[in-house]
Amino acid sequence: MFWYLVKSGLLPKEHIFYEEVKAFCSRALSCFSPVSQAFSQDFPAFTSWLQSNQFLHGKGATHFFNGIGGHGQGHLGDVNMSPAEWIQSHNFAGLSPRTISAMNSTLHLTSGVRIDDVCQMFFSLQGTSAISLKRQGVVGYLIATASDAMAIKPGLQFSPQVNGIIGLSDPPVMLPEKVRELLAKLDTETSIYLQTCKLNTQALEVHLTSMDDRVSRPVAVFYGGSRGGWQVVQELHKSLSVIDVCEACLLEKRIDECSYRCQDCWSSNSLCENCLQAGFKEWHPAARPCSVCHEKKQVCSRLLQLSWCSDCEARQKAFMERLFNLFPDTFQFPMPDPPHNFKSVRSSVFWYWLFLDERLINVRIILAVLFAHETRGSNAYSTRVRN
């Protein structure tokens, strides 16, 4: 049956079940032919399943999936087993919880765009047939940028990753020297210092998604509070401009040199004399390679941010209204995202409907009317209505 499923193509070789069977058989026979160490490359679908499983259900789930294995027999316990021993001690062929944890991407503890994650986005996009704009010397992947802020509990916490205390907006990481300095001070001085510090109360995550929804990943996080006007959002918009930098310039750390726009071409809506001589074929910044790639005669791979989704928070809305004035050459179309739009339309008036005698009745309105007319306040009568 397995042979039939594979041969007929019903069970594709990229399917997790095929990968698992292959992994199991090769591991069980590893004493005869050594298995390659590139597990995640050999079994990509299965590896991502293992990662999700551990993320959702914890390390115990991974142990349960693998079976007892070579537990307690040292690092090479698994490798030295005979096929019979291996099969007897394993449920499935998997990875150890520690290996799965080590594959997790690093934590985002401080504000900013993670260049590594943007580069990873290119890697994922190139592996799919994601929608892209192809012109001579340039491939522009069409993507949507989405940002959403969530409230986080204000607090201070030691982080071994950055070897400091995190939780404040400024400084983002309190280094051991500063802690020692505070310890030497009087308690009152320390408490005055801490009272003037601003704690992070919000984390704003930025997600990039290809227009066909095939690839999506977070690339940036910004910690802060809910204070500030549209200028705060403008700062954010500026720091996100690194997403427009092409892959080659990101990898070579030539972020400031990556530019697409020629002022002359832009103002005349046609190729200017200089660009024509330099060999450019398009005037529009979205359709031409960056100056660095053009000079090197290499294909410029870039992300074209066509829209920007966000919750329609007051300061974001204020910035959205100014976006085209502040950045006339942006291709980004600001879009209040649908779930948040529904949330802002919804109000108390739309809650608590009752269907009585073929009439739709809003309990809230009845209550409001009741409270307005009930001079005796919230007594037994209104309690009865509420119930």
Which residues of this protein are in contact with Zn ion, per CB under 5 A? Answer: 246, 248-249, 258, 262, 264-265, 272, 275, 290, 292-293, 300
Min dist CB 260 to Zn ion, Å, is 8
**How many CB atoms sit inside 10 A of residue 153's CB?**
9
Min dist CB 196 to Zn ion, Å, is 42
* Coil vs helix vs strand at 319: helix
Cite the beta strand spans of the chain per DSSP E. 112-113, 132-135, 138-151, 157-159, 164-166, 173-174, 202-210, 216-224, 300-310, 333-336, 353-356, 359-362
Min dist CB 257 to Zn ion, Å, is 7
Toward Zn ion, which CB reaches closer, 286 or 363?
286
Min dist CB 244 to Zn ion, Å, is 9
Toward Zn ion, which CB reaches closer, 264 or 329?
264
Min dist CB 290 to Zn ion, Å, is 3
- Measured distance CA(371)–CA(366) in Å, rounded: 9
Count of alpha carbons within 13 angstroms of residue 47, beta-carbon side = 14
- Measured distance CA(262)–CA(265) in Å, rounded: 5
Toward Zn ion, which CB reaches closer, 229 or 279?
279
Toward Zn ion, which CB reaches closer, 203 or 299?
299
Toward Zn ion, which CB reaches closer, 43 or 260?
260
Toward Zn ion, which CB reaches closer, 215 or 271?
271
- Measured distance CA(312)–CA(232) in Å, rounded: 15
Min dist CB 124 to Zn ion, Å, is 18
In this structure, are residues 311 and 340 in contact, taking their beta carbons and an 8 Å threshold? yes
Toward Zn ion, which CB reaches closer, 248 or 323?
248
DSSP state of 332: P
- Measured distance CA(25)–CA(37) in Å, rounded: 15
Min dist CB 150 to Zn ion, Å, is 33
DSSP for 101-158 reads HHHSPPP--SSEE-HHHHHHHHHHHHTTT--EEEETTEEEEEEEEEEEEEE-----EE
Min dist CB 143 to Zn ion, Å, is 16
* Coil vs helix vs strand at 207: strand
Toward Zn ion, which CB reaches closer, 215 or 300?
300
Min dist CB 136 to Zn ion, Å, is 13
- Measured distance CA(87)–CA(328) in Å, rounded: 65
Toward Zn ion, which CB reaches closer, 177 or 273?
273
In this structure, are residues 94 and 67 in contact, taking their beta carbons and an 8 Å threshold? no
Q: What b/e readout covers 3-12, taking b as 16+ CB neighbours within 10 angstroms?
A: eeeeeeeebe
- Measured distance CA(295)–CA(317) in Å, rounded: 40
